[in-house]
Structure 1
Amino acid sequence: MMKTEREKMLNGELYSSTDSDLLRGKSRASHLGVNFHVGKNFYMNAGCVILDCARVDIGDNVMFGPNVQIYTVTHPIKSEARKKGKQMAYPIKICDNVWIGGGSIVLPGITIGKNSVVAAGAVVTKDVPENVVVGGNPANIIELIDNDQNYTSSVSF
């Protein structure tokens, strides 16, 4: 049996973004946030963008600075597929107690571990472990977080 374009999208497969069912869903989702799931005590500053073609899970006590961008969707490298409107989507998971600094970008398929911090302007291209600060483009670990001590970072955000 043929998979629908929606099934392909949710499974991370190449799908047609111009499918009529998906276009209707996109319009409806812009009002509902259908693939966007948030825990308790979530804060999102102004200008944030969440493209939730795949599921976005955000844990408890998560903060987004202004203009954070969360992208689950990506496009094929080969131009022929792009010309046909094909794209893929991969889920993003942001665990509990994460702070994402202003202007950061989180790419498709990423998990950010609990208690971690993404420095302002970082581009997260790979999974972030628990209890670290990442920064830069592409984001790399720049500091370990010791949650058992009084902690003041030497890194400014």
Structure 2
Amino acid sequence: MADYFADDPRTNRERMLAGDLYISDDPDNERESKRAVKLQSQYTAAYAEDPDGARPILADLLGSLGEDAHIKPPLYVDYGTFVTVGARTFINYNLTALDVAPIIIGEDCQIGPNVQLLTPTHPVEPRPRRDRLEAAKPITIGDNVWLGGGAIVLPGVTIGDNSVIGAGAVVTRDVPANSIAVGNPARVVREI
């Protein structure tokens, strides 16, 4: 078995934050993940009673929550602390944001239900199962972007301002500003 970290004194969490290969079962990551699960559950329960009153829990969960941003639960994140949501952004039910790298969602965005924003990557070469190696690449969504229901955005993708991603699209590469992209894999079909 290859020792990927023989000359690397960093913790797995430090490797993760740097976007390098890491082993996902790091104790610090596990502690932060449990915190996120707890806050996600609290947010969902509080939202059912008082959506405005639940906002402080959401703000505690996320790295940054812009003014008048609104997220309908359930919300699923790895840590939450690496998710930034811009002002006046609306996110519908069931967002999955795997934030082992930063996920930046701009201002005035509209995100449909069941959208997935996925930053983790895995090596594709054969390796022993016990290694559980991952790496991460950030996702950036510009201002005034619309993501249709069920869209999936893969690691390292940037979606430019004023773009529309069709429902069910799988975004595997960057989408320029002022574009409409649809399909699997998503491709730009026209400019706006």
The bucket for the TM-score relative to the shorter chain is 0.7 to 0.9
Q: Determine the C-alpha separation between the residues in 1 that align with 2:130 and 2:174.
A: 30
> 2:160 aligns to what?
113
Q: 1:9 aligns with which of 12, 16, 20?
A: 16
1:26 counterpart letter in structure 2: S
Aligned residue pairs: how many? 145
Q: Provide, for residues 28-85 of structure 1, a one-character-per-residue CA deviation record: whole Å limited to 9, x for no partner.
A: 2343211101110011111221111111111100111111100011211134255312
Q: Provide, for residues 67-121 of structure 1, a one-character-per-residue CA deviation record: whole Å limited to 9, x for no partner.
A: 1100011211134255312111111110100000001000011110000000011
Larger proportion of helix: 2
> 1:69 aligns to what?
116
> 1:25 aligns to what?
32
2:10 counterpart letter in structure 1: K
| 1:93 counterpart SS class | strand
Q: Determine the C-alpha separation between the residues in 2 that align with 1:87 and 1:79.
A: 13
Q: 2:132 aligns with which of 59, 66, 85?
A: 85
- Please provide the CA RMSD for this pair: 1.3
Q: Determine the C-alpha separation between the residues in 1 that align with 2:10 and 2:128.
A: 18
2:11 counterpart letter in structure 1: T
Q: Provide, for residues 127-155 of structure 1, a one-character-per-residue CA deviation record: whole Å limited to 9, x for no partner.
A: 1100000001110001110xxxxxxxxxx
Q: Determine the C-alpha separation between the residues in 1 that align with 2:175 and 2:36.
A: 28
Q: Give unpaired runs (5+ residues) of structure 1.
A: 146-157
* Deviant stretches of 4+, over 3 Å: none
Distance 1:116 1:82, change over 3 A: farther
Moved more, 17-26 or 128-137: 17-26
Q: Percent identity?
A: 49
Q: TM-score, normalised by structure 2?
A: 0.72
Q: Determine the C-alpha separation between the residues in 2 that align with 1:73 and 1:59.
A: 20
Q: Determine the C-alpha separation between the residues in 1 that align with 2:111 and 2:9.
A: 39
Moved more, 40-49 or 124-133: 40-49
2:139 counterpart letter in structure 1: I
Q: Give unpaired runs (5+ residues) of structure 2.
A: 1-7, 40-60, 62-79
Higher RCO, Cα 8 Å, sep 6+ = 1
Distance 1:4 1:103, change over 3 A: same
> 1:150 aligns to what?
none
> 1:152 aligns to what?
none
| 2:84 counterpart SS class | strand
1:63 counterpart letter in structure 2: Q
Shift of 1:25: 1.6
